[in-house]
Structure 1
C-alpha cells in the first residue's frame, strides 16, 4: 500500500485523495472487534441521546469531577488504570464512549465511520448532563474534542485542570502527520485530500485545531518521544504556547502505552490533585 501511494503521488493524486478520504474517516475496527471497556464495580452506567443514537458511559466515585475522554478508535477501557487510581484518590470520574466507539451505538455515518465533529458532539452531550468539571484527562483526539466542546458549550475552563496524553494537535499539520504515519502522502495528494475531507466533515481543518485555542488552564502534557501518529513536537508546541502548561516527556511508550504506564498514571493523579 505504501508503494502504491508513493506512485500515486506522481500519476494519480486525485484517485489517491479519494481513497484516503474514505480511509480518513474509517475507524480501525468494526463492532465485533472494536476496543471496549466495562463499567467498574460500583459505577453507575448511563446512556444519553446523541445524534439520534445512544451514548454509553459510567459515573464512578465521589469527589471533584474528572472527565476521561478517549481518542480515535479508543474507549473507556483506555482509562481503566487511570480511572481506578483517581477514584481511589478521592475523585469522581465520568467516562464515555463516543458514537461508533466502545459500547455506544452507531453514529450518523454507521458503525465503521466517524469524524472529530462527532467526538466533539459526544463531549457536548456529556457536559450538558454533568456540567463543568474539576479536570479533564484526555488521550489523542480526545484532547482536541474535549477542549473544543468546552469552548462550544460556553464553559469557562480557565480553572479546569487538563491532563492531555499524546494530544492530537489537529489542523492541516496534525492530519498530515497522522495520515503520513500510515501511508506516504505527498503534497499533490494532500492538497486534493484536504477539501474532500473538509466537505465530508463540514468543517475547515484549521477550525479543528488546538494551535489556535487560547488555554490558560493548568495543563499537563504527556507525550512520548517515539509517538508516530502524533509526533512529540506537537506536544512540545502546545507546551510552549500555553502559559500554564508543563510537559512530561516519556520514552518507549509510543502512542497508546502512555495510558497504561504506572508513572504516567501517578503523575496524572498528582497533577489533578494539586
Structure 2
C-alpha cells in the first residue's frame, strides 16, 4: 500500500499542476517550486543526538533562519563541512574523526529545514546565503560539501569568490540544474507548460534560467584548488556531473570510484581528503 501511494501521490501533484497552469501560470510555478524545495526528512534522530549535542556551538541568524552550528577545536586551519539534501551534520562523523586526528579546526552546520535549524524548504541560493554568512564569520580555508552541499559550494564561490578559501572538496555532487528539473518533471509527470512557468519563476527570483544554473559553468572562473569525488555507479547524482565540472575547473582533480555509492563515508575517501587538505 505504501509503495502504491508513493507512486500515486506525485502523479496527483502533476495532474494538479497541469490543470492549474491553464488558469494561473505564476501560482502554478510558485506551488511547483515550493513542492520541489520541501524538506521531508533530515531532522536529528535519537541516535544522532549524542554526537551532535557534544559539539553544539551557537545558533546563528542567516537568511531569515536560525542555523545550528557545530565546532570541534583544532590548531590547524578551519575546515567547514556542508551536508547534502535531507541530511544533517551527523553525516560527517567519520570525516570529523579523521580531521580531529589531523588536528584541524572544524565547523559544520545544519542547512535550513535540516537537523536543528529552522525552516521547511531548501534550495541552493538559500543554502548559499547561509553558507556565506558563516564563511564570513568563521573564515575557513577549506570547504567540503556532499551532494547538493557541494553544488552550493561551487555556486557560492561563483557568486562571492572569498579569497581566503584555498581548497574546495565536493563529494557526489550534481552539476546541471536542468537535469534535476527534468527528473522532477518526469517524477510528477507535469507538462512543458508547467516547466516553462517554473523556468520563468526561477529567472524572476534568482536572475538565472534553469539551463544556466550549472556547476560546470560556475567553475570556469574558479582559481582555487579542487578535489572531486564521484562514484561511477552513483544512483542519486550522475557521475558525468563531476566529469563536466572537472573539465571546466583547471585547478581540480577528479577521483573516480566504483561501488562506494552516493554517500561515500569510506575511510579511503576520508584519507584522501585529509591528504589533499594537508598538501
Question: What is the TM-score of this pair, normalised by structure 2?
Answer: 0.78
For residue 216 of structure 2, give the secondary structure of its aligned residue in structure 1.
Answer: coil
Which residue number corresponds to residue 3 of structure 2? none
Which residue number corresponds to residue 161 of structure 1? 167
Is 1:50 equivalent to 2:55 in the alignment? Answer: no
The question of whether the paired residues in 2 share the 8 Å contact of 1:48 and 1:125 is answered with no
198 and 44 in structure 1: CA distance in 2 versus 1, 3 angstrom threshold: same
Shift of 1:187: 5.1
Which residue number corresponds to residue 139 of structure 1? 146
The question of whether the paired residues in 1 share the 8 Å contact of 2:41 and 2:114 is answered with no
The question of whether the paired residues in 2 share the 8 Å contact of 1:124 and 1:150 is answered with no
Is 1:100 equivalent to 2:148 in the alignment? Answer: no
Which residue number corresponds to residue 199 of structure 2? 194
Which residue number corresponds to residue 38 of structure 2? 26
Give CA deviations for 1:159-199 in whole Å, capped at 9, x if unaligned. Answer: 6111110112144x342355368556775653343224445
Is 1:232 equivalent to 2:239 in the alignment? Answer: yes
Which segments of 5 or more consecutive residues in structure 2 lack a partner in the other structure?
A: 1-6
Which residue number corresponds to residue 73 of structure 1? 86
Is 1:264 equivalent to 2:269 in the alignment? Answer: yes
Shift of 1:151: 4.4
Is 1:219 equivalent to 2:226 in the alignment? Answer: yes
Shift of 1:203: 4.2
Question: What is the TM-score of this pair, normalised by structure 1?
Answer: 0.80
| CA–CA separation in structure 1 for the residues paired with 2:166 and 2:217 | 19
Shift of 1:102: 0.8
Question: What is the RMSD of the two structures over their aligned residues, measured on CA atoms?
Answer: 3.4
For residue 102 of structure 1, give the secondary structure of its aligned residue in structure 2.
Answer: coil
For residue 64 of structure 1, give the secondary structure of its aligned residue in structure 2.
Answer: strand
Give the aligned length.
Answer: 262
Q: Which has the larger radius of gyration?
A: 2
Which segments of 5 or more consecutive residues in structure 1 lack a partner in the other structure?
A: 107-111
The question of whether the paired residues in 2 share the 8 Å contact of 1:71 and 1:141 is answered with yes
| CA–CA separation in structure 2 for the residues paired with 1:35 and 1:215 | 39
| CA–CA separation in structure 2 for the residues paired with 1:48 and 1:118 | 15
Give CA deviations for 1:57-107 in whole Å, capped at 9, x if unaligned. Answer: 11212111111011222211111111111111121111001121111122x
192 and 271 in structure 1: CA distance in 2 versus 1, 3 angstrom threshold: same
